[in-house]
Amino acid sequence: MFLGTLEPDNFMLGDLQVDKIMIGDIKVWTHVVIPPYVGPPSPLKFTNDVTLIAGTDFPAGIQINVCLIGGGGSGCVIDINGGDKDGGGGFSGDITSVQHTFIYNEPYQFISGLGGTAKTSLGSGNSGQESTFGTFTALGGSGGVKDGDYQGSDDTRTTCAGTADDGDYYNSTYHTYGGQSSGATDGSNGQPFSNSENSTEGSGTGCSGDGSGTGGSGILILSW
């Protein structure tokens, strides 16, 4: 039974604690005593698929800060020898930042969105996949495209996951731009004559004249 979006801890009739509420023969609410939380301390970060139990793996019955990030996109590949000079880096995964109270002893599954696969031929990068945690979703980041989109140039980016830097572009002649940072880790740099590096934790990869790296997989951070 909920009051708005919150499940009440107890009901009182005057000074008496109500143990359960019945509608006919159907029990619609039972008083649950949540024991003290003795699990891992805040914050918690997850990068792989996992099922978490509220009250055991993280606290139940209090507001939890949820930072959920989708998989990062991979950068484009442009034809440096053919005269191409501008190519966009991959975007970080979308970011869902919410506060939520989780129900004691309920399981909540985190699925980490895969980063966009490395690009090995000319064209736009590949998008990352969405991450999910319970009912929350964060979409994957788009892949970089030739002549535009994300122009990573070592700028600092702050999100619910932290503070980190975008990847940098190569130089003023070859604008192979870097990937967008998720805030958890840096995006990878653009590289005109070699592969750009893989990214981690939702960040995007730089554009390249040879081949782009793989976007970072999605992450989940819980804090309280």
145-190 residue pLDDT tens: 987 779 999 999 999 999 999 999 887 788 899 999 999 999 999 9
Comparing 27 with 106, which gets the higher pLDDT?
106
The residues spanned by each domain of the chain are: 1-33, 39-224
pLDDT in tens, 78-126: 998 888 888 999 999 999 999 999 999 999 999 999 999 999 999 999 9
**Look-up: residue for tokens 């004691």?**
104
Please give the helix or strand (H or E) that residue 63 lies within, else none: strand 63-69
DSSP state of 157: E
Q: pTM of the entire structure?
A: 0.85
Q: Tell me how crowded residue 104 is: count the other CB atoms within 10 A of its CB.
A: 18
- Indicate the average pLDDT of the chain: 90
The Cα 108–Cα 115 span in angstroms is: 22
pLDDT of residue 88: 94
Residue 212 has pLDDT above 60, yes or no: yes
Neighbouring-strand partners of residue 29: 21
pLDDT of residue 2: 46
The Cα 181–Cα 186 span in angstroms is: 5
pLDDT in tens, 62-89: 999 999 999 999 999 999 888 888 899 9
- b/e sequence 5-19, b meaning 16+ C-beta within 10 Å: eeeeeeeeeeeeeee
